[in-house]
């Protein structure tokens, strides 16, 4: 059986100090469990809601609760500020933290519009601080394993990627999100667009998007989408989501498919089915060069949540230590993902294909 290379590369030194800004759901359910498993050092935490910061600190044995963002940013034991606040708050947090010269890991989406995202990146560049975005799907064990197969040439020329997501998403868990005019692409499929860019190493030339919701559903923005990305040559990628498939687990699907001239991969992202409990992930692949006509199945360790959250932080730490030139999901790279997100909304509005 082929040994697949899919685990995140950790920094040589593990003593880089993390200060967390935001003690909400994702920090408690994903950042901190992942960092604990990896052995990262969280030095302190701040939240506008002091009680939440206190509770999270107690739960994860974080030694310090700061009374202000300035205090966090100024703490000499903190080298990286890990920001997980609503996107509308991110630019303001960056102003303080970048001003203090600290590196940042920012949650996706970097901003709710492209202009603000570009202003945030310009601000970070003016302070010469390193910053990355938490697009952790790239570090999902199955996405990494797929990238390994592509890198070894075992899939041949990759010409088709599809994300087929037919699930029953409990949007009511995020009441604030249902009020947004832009939901699925900006907050969910952004991960797929980023993973497609990662796996193909290419930027599409054109994009078509259609967004809608379920009849009678009261969300303001789109909760079902069809995205189609055309690249140079024969390469195409499609994202199909419907978050209203509420007829039990049978008939649901949550899959990344990658097809090449010499092989194919099917990755099941189990978390999205029966969320937030999830079902098991899956990873199946076939390569003519390995075992013609045979599909192989491999158990990969870890999952998209929380394990993949190690990746963006490890990559930022490595860049900060000079082990790599830039974090893999550097803010500059993330603008290219956001360009696709906002092209999708332009396409939805106009009903036309957007040339990129
Ligand atoms: N990468 C992923 O897969 C993923 C998953 C879920 C959420 N997210 C992102 O993470 C961010 C947080 O999401 P969440 O679900 O934890 O939200 P949440 O509402 O549970 O938590 C946000 C926290 O930020 C605090 N906060 C707000 N403004 C602040 C400020 N200016 N300074 C300090 N604290 C502030 C709030 O008090 C709250 O505790 C969002 O941007 C969301 O899009 C990413």
Ligand 1 centroid to 160 CA: how many Å? 34
CA of 254 to the centre of ligand 1 (A): 25
Q: Is the CB of 24 under 6 A from ligand 1?
A: yes
CB atoms inside a 10 Å sphere around CB 336: 13
The burial of 41, by beta-carbon neighbours within 10 Å (0-12 exposed, 13-18 middle, 19 or more buried), is given as middle
**Centre of ligand 1 from the C-alpha of residue 113, in Å:** 17
Contact 228, 210 (CB under 8 A): no
Ligand 1 pocket check for 23: Cβ under 6 Å? yes
Start-end of CATH 3.30.360.10 domains in the chain: 138-308+338-355
Atom of ligand 1 nearest to the CA of 93: 31
The two structure tokens encoding residue 299:
């158990």
Instruction: Indicate if ligand 1 lies below 6 Å from the C-beta of 21.
Output: yes
Asked whether 54 and 28 are in contact (CB, 8 A), the reply is no
Rounded to the nearest angstrom, the distance between the alpha carbon of 354 and the centre of ligand 1 is 31
What are the DSSP E strand ranges found in the chain? 17-21, 41-46, 64-65, 80-83, 103-106, 131-133, 158-166, 206-212, 224-230, 236-242, 253-260, 263-268, 282-287, 296-297, 354-355
* b/e code 198-216 from CB counts within 10 Å (16+ = b): bbbeeebeebbbebebeee
Res 292: pLDDT: 86
By the 8 A CB rule, do 223 and 244 touch? yes
Q: Mean pLDDT for the chain?
A: 97
Ligand 1 atom index nearest CA of 137: 3
CATH, range 138-308+338-355: 3.30.360.10
Predicted confidence at residue 44, as pLDDT, reads 98
Q: How far is the CA of 23 from the centre of ligand 1 (A)?
A: 7
Cα-to-chain-centroid distance, residue 209: 20
β-strands 206-212, 103-106 pairing: unpaired
If pLDDT is split at 50, 70 and 90, which confidence band does 274 have?
confident
Instruction: Tell me, using a 6 A CB cutoff, whether residue 136 lines ligand 1.
Output: yes
* Residues 333, 132: Cα–Cα separation, whole Å: 9
pLDDT the model gives residue 336: 98
Q: Where are the domain boundaries for CATH 3.40.50.720 in the chain?
A: 17-136+312-326
The finding on whether 93 has its CB within 6 A of some atom of ligand 1 is yes
Predicted TM-score (pTM) of the model is 0.98
Whole-angstrom Cα distance, residue 185 to residue 344?
Answer: 8
| 91 Cβ inside 6 Å of ligand 1 | no
For ligand 1, atom 33, the nearest C-alpha belongs to 47
- CA-based torsion, 179, 182, 186, 192: positive or negative: positive
Ligand 1: centre distance to CA 93 (Å):
12
pLDDT score recorded for residue 69: 98
pLDDT score of 107 more than 80: yes
What is the fold of 17-136+312-326?
Rossmann fold (3.40.50)
Angle at 91 between CA 108 and CA 211, to 5 degrees: 40
- Calpha distance 59→113 (Å, rounded): 35
Q: What's the confidence (pLDDT) of residue 11?
A: 98
Burial category of 269 from C-beta neighbours within 10 Å (exposed 0-12, middle 13-18, buried 19 and up): buried
Q: Is the CB of 55 under 6 A from ligand 1?
A: no
Per-residue confidence (pLDDT) for residue 98, from 0 to 100: 98
Predicted local distance difference test score (pLDDT) of residue 1:
77
For ligand 1, the distance from its centroid to the CA atom of residue 153, given in whole angstroms, is 39
Percent pLDDT > 90 in the chain is 97
Structure-token pair, residue 303: 């999952």
Ligand 1, atom 39, lies closest to the CA of 24
276 has pLDDT over 90:
no
Would the CB of 86 count as within 6 Å of ligand 1? yes
Mean pLDDT of 122-147: 98
**Best probe residue, ligand 1, of 45, 107, 195 (max atoms within 8 Å of C-beta):** 107
Q: What is the pLDDT of residues 289-319, one digit of tens each?
A: 998 899 999 999 999 999 999 999 999 999 9
Residues 34-70: tens digit of each pLDDT: 999 999 999 999 999 999 999 999 999 999 999 999 9
Q: Would you tell me how many other CB atoms lie within 10 Å of the CB of residue 292?
A: 10
| Cβ count near 333 (within 10 Å) | 17
- What is the position in ligand 1's atom list of the atom closest to the CA of 109? 43
Ligand 1, residue 85: give the atom nearest the CA: 24
In the block, which residue shows the tokens 């939240």?
A: 47
The per-residue pLDDT for 193 is 98
């Amino acid at each position: 059986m082929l040994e697949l290379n899919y685990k995140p590369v950790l920094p040589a030194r593990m003593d880089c100090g993390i200060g967390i800004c935001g003690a909400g759901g994702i920090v408690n359910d994903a950042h901190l469990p992942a960092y604990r498993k990896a052995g990262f050092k969280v030095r302190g935490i701040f939240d506008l809601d002091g009680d939440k910061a206190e509770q999270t600190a107690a739960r994860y044995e974080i030694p310090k609760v700061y009374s202000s963002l300035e205090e966090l940013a100024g703490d000499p034991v903190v080298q990286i500020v890990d920001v997980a606040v609503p996107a509308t708050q991110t630019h303001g947090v960056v102003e303080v933290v970048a001003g203090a010269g600290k590196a940042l890991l920012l949650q996706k989406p970097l901003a709710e519009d492209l202009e603000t995202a570009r202003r945030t990146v310009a601000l970070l560049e003016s302070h010469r601080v390193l910053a990355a975005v938490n697009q952790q799907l790239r570090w999902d064990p199955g996405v990494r394993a797929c990238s390994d197969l592509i890198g070894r040439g075992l899939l041949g020329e990759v010409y088709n990627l599809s994300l087929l997501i037919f699930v029953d998403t409990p949007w009511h868990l995020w009441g604030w999100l249902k009020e947004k005019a832009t939901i699925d692409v900006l907050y969910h499929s952004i991960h797929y667009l980023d993973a497609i860019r990662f796996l193909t190493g290419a930027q599409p030339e054109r994009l078509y998007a259609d967004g809608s919701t379920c009849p009678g559903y009261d969300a303001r923005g789109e909760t079902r989408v069809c995205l189609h990305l055309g690249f140079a040559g024969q390469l195409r990628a499609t994202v199909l989501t419907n978050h209203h498939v509420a007829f039990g687990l049978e008939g649901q699907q949550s899959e990344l498919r990658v097809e090449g001239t010499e092989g194919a991969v099917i990755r099941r992202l189990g978390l999205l089915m029966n969320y937030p409990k999830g079902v098991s992930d899956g990873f199946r692949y076939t390569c003519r060069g390995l075992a013609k006509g045979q599909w192989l199945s491999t158990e990969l360790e870890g999952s998209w949540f929380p394990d993949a959250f190690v990746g963006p932080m490890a990559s930022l730490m490595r860049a900060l230590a000079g082990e790599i030139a830039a974090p893999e999901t550097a803010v500059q790279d993330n603008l290219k993902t956001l360009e696709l997100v906002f092209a999708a909304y332009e396409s939805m509005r106009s009903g036309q294909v957007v040339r990129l």
